[in-house]
Structure 1
Amino acid sequence: MKKLILASTLVITLTQAVFAKNSEQEEQEPTRFESLSKMTKVIGTVEKYYVDDIKLQEIVNKSLKGLMQELDAHSSFLDKKSSKEMSIQTKGEFGGLGITVGMREGALTVISPIDDTPAYKAGIKASDIILKIDNNATLNMTLDEAVSLMRGKPKTDILLTIVREGENKPLKIKITRDIIKVESVFAKKIENEKLLYLRVSSFDSKVVSGLEKAIKDNNKDIDGIVLDLRNNPGGLLSQAIGTVDLFIDKGIIVSQKGRDESTEEKFSATTSSTITKKPVVVLVNAGSASASEIVSGSLQDHKRAIVIGEKTFGKGSVQAVLPITNDRSENIKLTIAKYYLPSGRTIQATGVTPDVIAYSGEVPQDTNSEFKIKEADLKKHLEGELEKVDSKKEVKKSEKKSDKKIISKEDITKDNQLNTSIGILKSLIIMNK
């Protein structure tokens, strides 16, 4: 009798579970349908009753912009104009100020100015908060709207009102728009040192080929490399992977995971792409984001480079540009995954912490040198030897010429982070010998 009661109870329980499951499915389908109906009804109501005559396509585009904006700071709807601008930007030439911006805690924030652009020359800095664009307040303004306002015809002026840490009141900075031609990679030798300085301003489609050429052209004449990724807002993932691949010959460079972790994708180094084993240091700061964080973090995890500077921006999400029209003239930029470094750590909202913290500014000078007594100050010092040394210095001074492909000692004294990186790189070289 007990067995019969238990069996009956089990049948009833299973029957209730099946009905509950079917009931949930029945509830889900109408809910989904009702949600879509709600959107359609709102769009129809706006089209019919809104005070201004707005075409259906414009209403739909506004709806898409609002939807993407509410997802996260990096997802967006790209209409025909925005899609075209994005295509131009990744090729390394576009119009505007030369400034990369993003939304941080609801505020329009400068990620970084691009080297030698109007914004850079006007003194815009990473982490500046833009309050106004001309007379337009940026409060509740979308990222796309802000970018659209800042871009315009070359040789026209724009006034940005910004808030900067350490300043008591907002700053007004006038900038003249221009065509932005980004030199994504440039190389220089460091004066009187067998060191190569490589600057990457953004990860456009030319970066890997530019770095490869610079390293191959100088590899025999150098003992180490300074890779400068400061104020580099990122760019193409393929170029970040290719950059790391130039320095390591095996192991994972970066991986990305979406909502379904089974779709994890890993990118690994290849021996054939590695072109140098020379010691490397990487310079970063708060303006280093996305692809530059992948490069610096991956080289750090592989213990292939010492990372120097300040904590990076912390953008570790993956955006894919997905077409929503057959001709690909309109697209959505959607966050589909997060980046993970070889060690498994994420960049998102945490950034890359340098191995050695070094702050920007000039190299601290010894202001008390006049009170210190040296050999040359003694009455009986060896004058003959001193004269020989001084004469050599004079010869070198007279031979010194200005060279755009050389970083001078004077340049280094103005850049504390670069000076620190050179000192550490020289130590690595000595240890590796």
Structure 2
Amino acid sequence: MRRLLLVGCAALALGAGAAAMAQQNVRNNETFRMLELFGDVLAVVKQAYVVPVDDRKLIEASLSGMMTALDPHSSYLAPAGFGELRERTEGQYSGVGLTISAEGGFVKVISPMDGGPAARAGVQAGDVISAIEGSTAAGLSVSEVSEKLRGAAGTEVRVTFLRDGSDPLEVTLTREIIKIESVTGRIEGDFGYVRISTFNENTGRELNEVMARLQSENPGIKGYVVDLRNNGGGLLSAAIAVSDAFLERGEIVSQRGRKPDQIERYSARPGDLANGLPIVVLVNYGSASASEIVAGALQDHERATVVGLTSFGKGSVQTVIPLRGGEDGALSITTARYYTPSGASIQKIGIEPDLEVSRSFAEAGIVARSNFIYSEAAYSTALDASIGAERKGPHVPFEAPGEDYPEDKDYQLERAYDVLRAGGRLDQLAAAPKGIIVTPPGTEPTEFAAATDPE
């Protein structure tokens, strides 16, 4: 009886194996059929299109389309685009100073780079690039737009931007060598202000140098503001280095891939550049990727108070795979998601501040109509968070300056210094000054949204 049972089990296993193999063969046959279809379409286009076509251009466009169909951050990088990526991570390139991404057939600005031509012209996070040199940019890939914006230093490019509630902004930008000084700093009274504009190969070293300089300028320094607003991200290694600089121990970030065993964890080593002094991290919806790793790590370990607006929500990992040694470009493909030390997903959610503060009255109105907020959640092809959570919807920020607040003042930064004066403790924070709108949690945004609607 036992022998019959074993034979029966063996037959069942063989049957299941054969069925799985047959299913795999069906999938393979379908893949080969679709590849043949691609060849057939390419042949028809070559023979029947109204003008001769460039085979390489068609195939590169097909590769680009295949990658962008996966998610907003997977892409095919033509050889020129691969070279640009390497230049950016090394800290210098020639262009107009924009971090961009594609969504819904348009290319949008994630963040303008500090001091670059685009930032000086008033370009902001969330602006849509609608035209370049008078020709529409609709339907162009990130690589194609980037190629049009790049060029020799000293040459000009005319770009039109669209912005919520405003007329189109057409500016002529003069390309220049963008030497990315990723970390800058200054003393503000009793406190140090540290600005990190991007995360590249030099960021960790530059942070050490800036912190040492600030401490020598004011040995009695009482705390630090780390400003990550409109920082579109960069290298994971740089984000880990910055987080590690302020943490004595514990996990910084983990990344989890397709399989359950594909988990990598990164932990801090002993040593704190701030010597335990209070830290405030400033973020907004232009803070993405590496910025969110730093903010999330310091927030979860209660090493810093996060002030500002909910960050962009790009919590996915891209791996760059050169094709034939880079001769045929490379693939930038999403291979994992990021998680903060507490296990929270950044993807599509972002980092919510401990003290929510808008920089201006107009910005508060945009948050109240958050369908206008440019974030990862706005992408139709974005990965989900994988933990069932969602980004906070339209709401009035907890604090916002009134309409009379001076445009040249930075309310978010002022409140960051207030938090430092309170020793980093929100329960000791002084009440918002006169002229500031304070909104109790749960308040409906309807009236505020209507009052600030541009129409």
Same fold (TM over 0.5): yes
1:227 and 1:280 in contact (8 A); partners too:
yes
| One-letter identity of the residue aligned with 1:39 | F
- Out of 175, 190, 197, the position equivalent to 2:193 is 197
CA distance in 1, matches of 2:411, 2:18: 71
Contact 1:109/1:127 (CA < 8 Å) preserved in 2?
yes
Whole-Å separation in 1 of the counterparts to 2:424 and 2:310: 25
Do the aligned partners of residues 325 and 23 (structure 1) sit closer, same or farther apart at CA in structure 2, a change above 3 Å counting? Answer: closer
Answering whether residue 320 of structure 2 is matched by residue 321 of structure 1, we say: yes
Contact 1:320–1:336 (CA<8 Å) still a contact in 2?
A: yes
- Equivalent residue, structure 2, for 1:308: 307
Contact 1:234 1:290 in 2 (8 A): yes
Alignment of 1:235-384 (within 5 A): 235-272=234-271, 276-326=275-325, 330-361=329-360
d(CA) in 2 for partners of 1:417 and 1:26?
A: 59
Deviates further, 135-144 or 296-305: 135-144
- Structure 1 residues 412 and 186 mapped into 2: Cα distance closer, same or farther (>3 Å)? farther
Q: Give the aligned partner of residue 123 of structure 2.
A: 124
2:67 counterpart of 1:71: no
Shift of 1:43: 4.0
TM-score, normalisation: structure 2: 0.76
Percent identical? 37
Q: What are the superposed Cα offsets for residues 256-279 of structure 1, whole Å, 9 maximum, x if unpaired?
A: 111112111111111157663111
| Paired AA for residue 278 in structure 2 | P
| Higher-Rg member (1/2) | 1
How much does 1:86 deviate? Answer: 1.2
Distance in structure 1 (CA, Å) of the matches to 2:266 and 2:192: 27
Shift of 1:290: 0.8
Matched, 1:425 2:424: no
> Unaligned 5+ residue runs, structure 2?
362-405, 429-455
SS of corresponding position for 2:312: coil
Change beyond 3 A, Cα 1:18–1:162: closer
Alpha-carbon distance between aligned partners in 2 of 1:358 and 1:14, rounded to the nearest angstrom: 61
Contact 1:83–1:329 under 8 Å retained in 2: no
Q: What is the rounded CA distance, in whole Å, between the counterparts of 2:32 and 2:230 in structure 1?
A: 47
In structure 1, distance between residues paired with 2:20 and 2:332: 36
Match of 1:89, SS state, is helix
Counterpart AA for 1:196: G
Report the Cα offset of residue 109 of structure 1.
Answer: 1.4
Structure 1: distance between partners of 2:132 and 2:154: 17
- Secondary structure of 2:246 counterpart: coil
What is the deviation of 1:60? Answer: 3.2
Contact 2:245 2:271 in 1 (8 A): no
Could you tell me how far apart the structure 2 residues matched to 1:59 and 1:66 are? Answer: 11
Distance 1:153 1:326 in 2: 26
Conserved? CA contact 1:223–1:429, under 8 Å: no
**3-state DSSP of counterpart to 2:261:** helix
Counterpart for residue 60 of structure 1 = 59
Q: CA deviation at 1:25?
A: 3.9
Residue 182 of structure 1 pairs with residue 180 of structure 2: yes
**What is the total number of aligned residue pairs between the two structures?**
380
AA of the residue aligned to 1:195: F
C-alpha contact (below 8 Å) 1:412/1:418 kept by paired residues: no
Deviations 1:250-307 (A, max 9, x none): 1110111111121111111111576631110011111111111111111111111011
Aligned partners of 2:82 and 2:326 also within 8 Å: no
- Structure-2 separation of matches of 1:427 and 1:412: 26
2: CA distance between counterparts of 1:335 and 1:59? Answer: 24
Q: Is the 8 A contact 2:79 2:326 kept in 1?
A: no
Post-superposition offset of 1:10: 8.7
1:261 counterpart letter in structure 2: P
User: 1:27: Cα distance to partner?
Assistant: 2.5
Aligned residue number for residue 102 of structure 2: 103
Cα gap change, 1:45/1:104 in structure 2, threshold over 3 Å: closer, same or farther? closer
Change over 3 Å in CA distance of 1:350–1:55 after alignment to 2: same
Structure 2 CA distance for partners of 1:325 and 1:306, relative to 1, 3 Å: same
Structure-2 separation of matches of 1:333 and 1:6: 51
Alignment partner of 2:229: what SS? coil
Q: Is the 8 A contact 1:134 1:159 kept in 2?
A: yes
Distance (whole Å) between structure 2 residues aligned to residue 183 and residue 80 of structure 1: 26
Deviations 1:191-241 (A, max 9, x none): xx2211101111111111111122233333311011011111111100000
Superposition deviation, residue 70 in structure 1: 1.8
Counterpart CA distance in 2 for 1:245 and 1:130 is 36
Which of 164, 168, 187 pairs up with 1:170? 168
Q: Name the stretch that deviates more: 24-33 or 221-230.
A: 24-33
1:414 aligned partner: 409
Letter of the aligned partner of 2:137 in structure 1?
T
1:226 aligned onto 2:225: yes
1:245 and 1:274 in contact (8 A); partners too:
no
SS of 2:310's partner is coil
The one-letter code matched in structure 1 to 2:168 is P
Could you tell me which amino acid in structure 2 is paired with residue 174 of structure 1? T
1:320-371 deviation per Cα after TM superposition (whole angstroms, max 9, x unaligned)? 1101113566211111111111111111111111111121249xxxxxxxxx
Displacement after TM superposition at 1:44 (Å): 4.6
User: Which letter does structure 1 place at the counterpart of 2:171?
Assistant: I
* Structure 1, unpaired ranges of 5+: 363-410
In structure 2, the CA distance between the partners of 1:329 and 1:185, relative to structure 1 (3 Å rule), is farther
User: CA RMSD, aligned part only?
Assistant: 3.0
Is the 2:153–2:176 contact (alpha carbons within 8 Å) kept by the matching residues of 1?
yes
Structure 2 matches for 1:145-156, cutoff 5 A?
Answer: 145-156=144-155
Shift of the alpha carbon at 1:184?
A: 0.9
SS in 2 for 1:71: coil
Q: Is the 8 A contact 1:246 1:276 kept in 2?
A: no
Q: TM-score, normalised by structure 1?
A: 0.79
Q: Which residue of 2 aligns with 1:217?
A: 213
